[in-house]
Structure 1
Amino acid sequence: MRIRLIVAALALGMAMTPAFAANKPVRIPDAAMTQAATLREQALTSDLAYRITESITTEVGPRMAGSEGDARAVAWAQAKFKSLGYDRVWTEPVTFPKWERRSERAEVLGRHAQPLVLTALGGSPGGTVEGEVVRFTDLASLEAAPAGSLAGKIVFVDFKMERKRGGDDYGFGSRIRSRGPTTAAAKGAVGYLMQSAGTDSHRMPHTGITRFDEGVKPIPAAALSAPDSRQLSRLVAMGPQRVRLALDCGWDGEATSYNVIGEVRGSSKPDEVVLIGGHLDSWDLGTGAIDDGAGLGITMAAGAMIAKLPKRPARTIRVVAFANEEQGLYGGRAYAAKYEKDVGKHQIAAESDFGAGRIYGYASSLPESAREADEQILQALAPLGIQRLEGRGEGPGPDIGPFAQRGLAWASLAQDGTDYFDLHHTPDDTFDKVDPAAIQQNAAAYAVFAYLAASADGSFGSRPVAPATPAR
């Protein structure tokens, strides 16, 4: 899924690089602006993005990285690109550790014995553990627990995310998921439970990846559905509670999947690229409709609609279905490593990985020399209800983040994610949650953006830079 706040800070410095100031002014030809207006109206009447999303969620379904479904998704993407009329389609291998889920259960023991609905976090080891529950309200309070104070205990963090259009609270929820288990294990805990990183009230837990620091022995880690988390909180408030947690899951060697790439070749500058896309994999609980079948439907449809124009834009439109985003941005990192020397040939990139809610905002990293072109793009997007995002800290999507660190110019087409975390990483992430009208608006926006970026006279400023050293 798309977490702009994780990668935004890594790319913000790019637009401030002095070298960009030397670029000559960039604008988009009037003819291209006229064509973009026609493209926008045509896209708003097309159900292609909706049908592509229906296709992958129905014909492939769940496609966790390294699974049989993932392999079928790669074949599906190749065939779909070809059927949509893309000029060139190919794959690039991406290798990663393989994690498997087999079974999971938990129960409160003793006087108030009852089952708990949960799901293992990706990266959790298997095992059956039993212990007294120690409740924390957030990650900071867990981090403040004295060393060794949690020996033999099961840690429980019951932070509740709130609905926000930009999904802001996920920054807290995802850190509780990613850092909580290793923090608990380092302090002696034998197991870890958290309230799912989500905003729904359904009895559907949210999975997602976690990591254990080197030297820390991994412990079984799982997410409770929101009602079960609140139930456990009430029980703990009544007095000490013991829970048994039994997970059958874990890492199982390595797997290889593929970035699947389709191109609509440019008319006069085919070696220069405008990159759009989403990720091909999903978690295994639902059918990956909002995360990220919709992103593929939106961007694949946008490229296909541009391919059918009477005159192609100058630059090539490249659509990437990235491998294994969910467990560590493996496809995005592989793409960045492979094309690092070609960053200057990439005009700009934008990624759709935040569901299928209507796009309401636009932001970019473009330098001052491309300000006019940036305003022209926004002008063409405005009839879709899209406004400039000012001071929101927007950044590149997750899979283009590693390339943005290396100097790639990016744009953000911000979707309304008010209900995104009701569905994210749950069994409820299914095709019926996709709004046909909203996904049409998304496809229209991506088609307009990609077409105009590919038509601009001048560079948007992508050029090699040394990636910043992550803060410790």
Structure 2
Amino acid sequence: MNRIVRFHALALGLSLALSAQAADKATTIPAKAVSAAEQLRDRAVTDQTAYKVVESLTTEVGPRVAGSPNDERGRAWAVAKFKELGFDKVYTEKVTYPLWERRSEHGAIVSPYPQPLTLTALGYSAGTPKGGLTADVVGFADLDALKAADAATIKGKIVYVSTHMQRQKDGHDYGMGSATRTLGAVLAAQKGAAAYLLRSAGTDAHSRTPHTGVTGFRDEKQAIPAAALSLPDADQLERVLASGKPVTLKLDLDVGFNGTYTGANVIGEITGRKHPDQVVAIGGHLDSWDLGTGAIDDGAGVAIAMAAAKLIKDMPQRPDRTIRVIAFANEEMGLWGGRAYADQHAKDVAKHQLGTESDFGSGKIWRMTASVKPEARGAIEQIAKVIEPLGVAYDATKPGGGGSDLSQMHGKGMAALSLTQDGTDYFDYHHTANDTLDKIDPKDLAQNVAVYAVFSYMAAQANGDFGSAPNAFANDGARD
């Protein structure tokens, strides 16, 4: 009799264990949550919250270069805006980084054909000596040509490197342009160059608006003066170099490092009803370059995340998990806010249900990719079906990286999406004085909000997780 009881108890225990294992493997989103997400989607596409938020940021604060007085004003703005939108919890987390400042910048061809050049200094560039720097120019067709060059041909000269980006829906040429800017400057310095110039990493071929951006310098002792030419000015310099005559340039850059600065990530939360310690993480970066007003890069991203979370808050019932919106500090000069957040929250990576950041403008989202555990692919497909009417296709063959700042948390093991916007004209304006509010289409912005609201809500309501765990996605190859 006891043997039979023990057998049945063993069988029951095995059955329960298998059931629990099956439940753990199959992450699903309840039908009720799917229906609610569809209604949320339909409300979001006509909601104007995001546009009002980015209008407020770009008008009331303006440019928000890291460490500037407007950086501090931007943080105060974000705290106040989170509270105004009704977030349950608003707080900041400190982020410390090198302080770099731009004061003035000038450039000109001295010979053989004297004329001014339109340029802008690059982040972490060194300044030129007082009165400027005059030197001969040596030009290279691309970064590979610079890599192959003999240092003896470079020492003491101004290095110029060309780079030709084409408009792409997914903006993939920026990988080449960004490498020329960041790595090229460092390589030129290592080979003894007096200064570094590049053709701007942009696609606005007919505009004399140079594109700034960060270099790879992190130590001011290793930095040299570095700047980007507008595309027409780069064309002009290339024509002069092609003449075969020696070319001399003068650069006068009053820029440089000025100690360190402590800013902060600003965070707002809509507290989860059942699992408040588990979070869906979304956001954008609060800083911008100083040339424009940081509308598409990345006021739009901050606004999309804030508006999506507010729409979820306004639903009849709070989400099961917490929606966390992060307005990251100093993305532009090296993902400082994203890295600080990842370092501080690495111990809680398993509590990050799913996440991604918006940092590619405000064009319509057209593709979703994901890095999740295999057992959660069904839930991703459920999300995909709800956002498909918005024009978003799910590509199951590619990983998701989490966006620029949250790529750092993804690197710690957070399950992540990539929600790719139409960036066909993004690099016409990126890092230029033309990054202003008029570049944002309110309808396209609302489509972004709808996608972010749907995925965040459905992830928050899921039965099961998406696979976040320490180092869970170390080998998925995701890049944003």
Question: What's the TM-score once normalised by structure 2's chain length?
Answer: 0.91
- Over 3 Å counting, the alpha-carbon distance change for 1:363 and 1:466 in structure 2 is closer
Name which of structure 1's ranges 338-347 and 459-468 shifts more when overlaid on structure 2.
Answer: 459-468
Cα offset, 1:466, TM superposition: 8.1
2:139 to 122, 135, 154: 135
User: Is there any run of 5+ residues in structure 1 with no aligned partner, and where?
Assistant: 1-19
Per-residue CA deviation, residues 67-112 of structure 1 (Å, 9 max, x unaligned), is 1000000000000000001111011111111000000001111341
Percent of aligned pairs with the same residue?
Answer: 54
Cα offset, 1:467, TM superposition: 8.9
Cα offset, 1:21, TM superposition: 10
| Alignment-derived partner of residue 127 in structure 2 | 126
Structure 2 residue 240 is matched with structure 1 residue 235: yes
Per-residue CA deviation, residues 133-157 of structure 1 (Å, 9 max, x unaligned), is 1111111100100122212211111
- Over 3 Å counting, the alpha-carbon distance change for 1:408 and 1:39 in structure 2 is same
Per-residue CA deviation, residues 266-290 of structure 1 (Å, 9 max, x unaligned), is 1111111000000010010000000
User: How many angstroms apart in 2 are the aligned matches of 1:215 and 1:75?
Assistant: 30
- Over 3 Å counting, the alpha-carbon distance change for 1:243 and 1:468 in structure 2 is same
Q: What RMSD, in angstroms, separates the aligned Cα atoms of the two structures?
A: 1.8
Structure 2 residue 292 is matched with structure 1 residue 291: no
Structure 2 residue 221 is matched with structure 1 residue 220: no
- Over 3 Å counting, the alpha-carbon distance change for 1:215 and 1:40 in structure 2 is closer
Name which of structure 1's ranges 212-221 and 156-165 shifts more when overlaid on structure 2.
Answer: 212-221
- Pairing of 1:146-161 with structure 2 (within 5 A): 146-161=150-165
Which structure is richer in relative contact order (CA contacts within 8 A, separation 6 or more)?
1
Cα offset, 1:465, TM superposition: 2.1
| Alignment-derived partner of residue 85 in structure 2 | 84
User: How many angstroms apart in 1 are the aligned matches of 2:393 and 2:61?
Assistant: 36
| Alignment-derived partner of residue 440 in structure 1 | 446
Tell me the matched-pair count: 451
- Over 3 Å counting, the alpha-carbon distance change for 1:348 and 1:468 in structure 2 is closer
Q: Is the Cα contact below 8 Å between 2:220 and 2:257 reproduced in 1?
A: no
| Alignment-derived partner of residue 434 in structure 2 | 428
Structure 2 residue 39 is matched with structure 1 residue 38: yes
User: How many angstroms apart in 1 are the aligned matches of 2:323 and 2:94?
Assistant: 21
User: How many angstroms apart in 2 are the aligned matches of 1:371 and 1:183?
Assistant: 43
Structure 2 residue 207 is matched with structure 1 residue 206: no
Cα offset, 1:159, TM superposition: 1.2
Name which of structure 1's ranges 408-417 and 204-213 shifts more when overlaid on structure 2.
Answer: 204-213
1:366 to 358, 372, 380: 372
**What SS does the aligned partner of 2:152 have?**
coil
Structure 2 residue 305 is matched with structure 1 residue 305: no
User: Is there any run of 5+ residues in structure 2 with no aligned partner, and where?
Assistant: 1-20
**What SS does the aligned partner of 2:412 have?**
coil
Structure 2 residue 168 is matched with structure 1 residue 167: no
Structure 2 residue 330 is matched with structure 1 residue 324: yes
- Over 3 Å counting, the alpha-carbon distance change for 1:467 and 1:166 in structure 2 is closer
| Alignment-derived partner of residue 101 in structure 1 | 102
Larger Rg: 2
Q: Is the Cα contact below 8 Å between 2:225 and 2:253 reproduced in 1?
A: yes
Q: Is the Cα contact below 8 Å between 1:279 and 1:353 reproduced in 2?
A: yes
User: How many angstroms apart in 2 are the aligned matches of 1:445 and 1:206?
Assistant: 30
- Pairing of 1:7-86 with structure 2 (within 5 A): 23-86=24-87
| Alignment-derived partner of residue 350 in structure 1 | 356
User: How many angstroms apart in 2 are the aligned matches of 1:394 and 1:264?
Assistant: 24
